[in-house]
Structure 1
């Protein structure tokens, strides 16, 4: 009960071919293959970009911290 025999799958396959046609199914499979190839190509490009990171166009600049401004602000307030 509920088991799918080989005849069930043959009938389902024939219905799919009748509804979509052989040409449309082969076109879909070709599109799937192109998508897989594009995905693999994109992954390969990502791996090469990760292996060779781009050099920054200008050096990184750092700012000096000004600790005197915070101490002068606290010394201005006198408790009295």
Structure 2
């Protein structure tokens, strides 16, 4: 009662292909790949935004004071 062998995985693959069909599986793979690509791009864009200065709406300047934290 160990892990699944190669033959078990092949049988599972054949059953899944018979149930869903190759076209649906291909579409699912493409959608998953696009989602991963979009996620990676979002992470990359998020890292780039940290180096950019914050933007202020309507070109307004925000006045404030900076206080040093005393321990």
Matched residue count: 62
Q: TM-score of the superposition, structure 2-length normalised?
A: 0.71
Cα offsets for 1:15-64 (capped at 9, x unmatched): 000011111111111001100111111111111111112254313245xx
Q: Which runs of 5+ in 1 are unaligned?
A: 63-80
Q: TM-score of the superposition, structure 1-length normalised?
A: 0.64
Q: Which runs of 5+ in 2 are unaligned?
A: 66-71
Bigger Cα Rg: 1
Equivalent residue in structure 2 for 1:58, among 48, 52, 61: 61
Q: Residues 1-80 of structure 1: matches in 2 within 5 Å?
A: 1-56=1-56, 57-61=60-64
